[in-house]
Amino acid sequence: MTTADTTMTRLADWAGDLDACPVRQVLDRIGDRWSLLLLLTLKDAPQRFNALGRAVPDISRRMLSTTLKTLEADGLIWRSVEATTPPAVTYGLTPRGLSLIDALGPLMEWAITQTPAILADRRRAG
Interface with DNA (CB under 7 A), residue from 7, 17, 62, 83: 62
| Residue 4 makes contact with a copy of itself by CB under 8 A | yes
Interface with a copy of itself (CB under 8 A), residue from 55, 64, 78, 90: 55
| Residue 111 makes contact with a copy of itself by CB under 8 A | yes
User: Under rule CB under 7 A, how many of the chain's residues touch DNA?
Assistant: 23
User: Under rule CB under 8 A, how many of the chain's residues touch a copy of itself?
Assistant: 61
Which of DNA, a copy of itself, none lies near 102, with the C-beta cut-off 5 to 8 A by kind? a copy of itself
Distance CA 18, CA 25 (A): 10
| Residue 26 makes contact with DNA by CB under 7 A | no
With respect to DNA, which residue has the nearer C-beta, 59 or 100?
59
Four-point Cα dihedral 95, 96, 98, 99, nearest 10? 120
Q: Are the C-beta atoms of 52 and 41 separated by less than 8 Å?
A: yes
Task: Give the CB-side neighbour count of residue 25, counting CA atoms within 13 A.
Answer: 8
User: Which parts of the chain are beta strand (E)?
Assistant: 47-48, 77-82, 88-93
Q: Are the C-beta atoms of 43 and 93 separated by less than 8 Å?
A: yes
With respect to DNA, which residue has the nearer C-beta, 61 or 106?
61
With respect to DNA, which residue has the nearer C-beta, 52 or 100?
52
